[in-house]
Chains A and B, each alone.
Chain A
Amino acid sequence: MSNGVKLTLSWLLVGIPLAWGVYVTILNALKLF
């Protein structure tokens, strides 16, 4: 497996859950306004 594929997969692995968490948090925060 090339370094590029490894980098993409590993960043997606952590990026997707983090992006989901940020998205849910922003949705909840909108109730403040």
Chain B
Amino acid sequence: MNNSFLDRSHSIAGPGFSRWLVPPAALCIHLCIGQAYALSVFNKPMSQLIGVSAPAPGDWSIPAIGWIFSIAIVFLGLAAAFGGKWVEEAGPRKAMFAAALFFSGGLVVGSGGVALHQLWLVYLGYGVIGGIGLGIGYISPVSTLVKWFPDRPGLATGTAIMGFGGGALIGAPLAVGLMKFYSSPTSTGVAPTMLTMGIIYLCFMMIGAFIVRIPPAGWKPEGYVAPTVSVGLVTSANVLVHQALRTPQFYLLWGVLFLNVTAGIGVLGQASLMIQEMFPLKFLHDTPAAIAASAAAAAGFVGLLSLFNMAGRIFWASMSDFIGRKMTYVIFFVLGAILYACVPASGRAGNLALFILFYVVILSMYGGGFATIPAYLRDLYGTVNVGAIHGCLLTAWSAAGVAGPVLVNYIRQYQIDHGVAKADAYSVTMYVMAGLLVVGLICNLLVRPVDSQHHVTSKEAVIDGVA
């Protein structure tokens, strides 16, 4: 890692470099690490590695396999939180290079775990090693883009984080195609698929690390005049990460992200089951052909949600450049709470189109929440340590990744155990999620400009290399 090519000083853009080369570099990373959202395509084949055509004694259970994703998300948050400062110091190229090694290395080690049928090795590989790659890879291009696009930070972060949503759209069919290619009467083809994907993603992420540049000191876009005074929530100063952690705004935004993601993950995880149980006439299960058609339609619904999850990231984040970050989150929480509360009614009315419409808007705001938060942080804390602060905030995602599914599954099971019909068991869940969004709205409304006592001083700036 001491190769000078990777050093921050060697990735400073020269004269004539177009800043529009940086979003594709960021997308090279995010389109790959976004594969994590498509990890569930491995669930079924991984649960029948021994039996191949059906689960056999000794095969892994689906809940045990589900922990791979949970571990990866937890390590994403931890790596982003503890590695954020290093990412700022090392520069995006070294960070993206490290992310490529960790993420693809995780897939390779995970592939070994599948080949040897050692679940702990898959946890270690994809979960821990891959999760570290996810965390470092997630924040490094985001903070770089914020610095290149001071005039449109929402568009910049939206572009990169859209890639994370788009990664699922690529990762799922790629994995399915590769498993089909490698499968045989004695193998599900999971291990060679993961190995191949590790190699492909390594190459793709390395291209991103090669392309990325940081702006030279004092650079600004043509015609852009940096604000000299703070306007509303948008500061003209900078706050270092250790100071940011002492501000109430950080914890309010942590709550904003946590509640938005908890609600989103909660409904995303049960979307497939929910549509099948709420619309039994559309999703018939009486013949093998009907079961197959229903499964395909439910998978299509989940795909549609992924599409809007991705589109919402760039749409809402770009929109926030015009209407402000606080107002964007007000829309997420107010409109979100109304839609969550209306979903059960659309199910009871048997209105599939309305149900789908509510769901895709909800998912667009779920994605938009992820994409707008770095720009919100940049508004409050400036650009200097935004990557490190963003990294710390992503622990909210890790917490929501555990809380969301647990909460939804618990509420649903509690309802069913107390005699509520399956189709109706979702109503309470959705009302609880709407309640969480109301709490999120309160957190968002409490956000005020950061007190100037936290702004970086000239002495701190010299010590931290800001000046």
B170 interface residue, CB < 8 Å from A?
Answer: yes
If the complex has contacts A13-B28, A20-B170, A24-B169, are A29 and B20 also in contact, measured as CB distance less than 8 A?
A: no
Q: Determine whether the beta carbon of A29 is less than 8 Å from that of B304.
A: yes
Interface string of A9-33 (1 = CB under 8 A from B): 0110110011011101110111110
Q: Does B24 contact A (CB under 8 A)?
A: yes
Contact residue among A10, A17, A32 (Cβ-Cβ distance under 8 Å from B31): A17
Cβ–Cβ contact B24 & A29, under 8 A: no
Measured between C-beta atoms, what is the minimum distance from B218 to chain A in Å?
Answer: 21
* A22 x B169 contact (CB < 8 A): yes
| Range of interface residues on B (Cβ < 8 Å) | 20 to 34
- Per-position 1/0 for B80-115, Cβ under 8 A of A: 000000000000000000000000000000000000
Q: Is B64 an interface residue (CB 8 A)?
A: no
The interface stretch among B46-54, B116-124, B294-302, B404-412 is: B294-302
Instruction: Find out whether the CB atom of B173 lies under 8 angstroms from the CB atom of A29.
Output: no
Question: Quick check: B300 and A28 within 8 Å, CB to CB?
Answer: yes
A contact residues around B24 at 8 Å (CB): 10-11, 13-14
Alpha-carbon distance between A28 and B297 when the two chains are bound, in angstroms? 8
B300 near A30: Cβ-Cβ < 8 Å: yes
Q: Cβ of A6: which chain B residues have Cβ within 8 Å of it? A: 18, 21
How many chain A residues sit at the interface, stated as a range, is 20 to 34
Q: Are B296 and A31 in contact (CB under 8 A)?
A: yes
Beta-carbon contact of B296 and A7 below 8 Å: no
Q: Taking CB as reference atom, which chain B residue is nearest A11? A: B24
Q: Is B16 an interface residue (CB 8 A)?
A: yes
Q: Using an 8 Å CB-CB cutoff, how does the interface string of B58-91 with A read, 1 for contact, 0 for none?
A: 0000000000000000000000000000000000
Whether A18 touches B166, Cβ cut-off 8 Å, given contacts A3-B18, A7-B18, A13-B207, is: yes
B339 lies within 8 A of chain A by Cβ: no
Residues in A lying within 8 Å of B, measured CB to CB: 3, 6-7, 10-11, 13-14, 17-18, 20-22, 24-26, 28-32
Q: A10-B21, A10-B211, A24-B169 are in contact. List 14 more A-B contacts (CB 8 A).
A: A3-B17, A6-B21, A13-B28, A20-B173, A21-B169, A22-B169, A22-B307, A25-B173, A28-B303, A29-B301, A29-B303, A31-B293, A31-B299, A32-B304
